[in-house]
Amino acid sequence: MKQIKTIIKPYEQLYSYDEEVNKYLSEGWKLNKRETQRVSGEITEAFTVPVIFVLYAELEKEIPAFEEITL
């Protein structure tokens, strides 16, 4: 069974993002995608929508299917 993990952090949390991605890589996860994305923030009182840059990573890990053994 394939598991997918997504990590999304604001650009200002670069070091926290790198630590989390590296933690999962050391646990055997495979990095599929790593990029910077632009997302829309919340609308302000002046009816403007700020653009927020986020760090995005997509990891996957193949886990063997659970097999039940009865005695």
Return d(Cα 9, Cα 19) in angstroms, integer.
12
Q: What is the mean pLDDT of each run of 10 residues along the chain (71 residues)?
A: 92 95 95 94 90 95 76 70
Which residues make Cβ contacts (< 8 Å) with residue 34, sequence separation at least 6? Answer: 21, 56, 57, 58
The domain locations on the chain are 2-62
Q: Which of 57, 62, 55, 5 is nearest to 33 (CA)?
A: 57
| pLDDT given at position 63 | 81
| pLDDT given at position 15 | 95
**Alpha helix ranges (H) inside the chain:** 14-26
Q: Is the pTM of this model over 0.95?
A: no
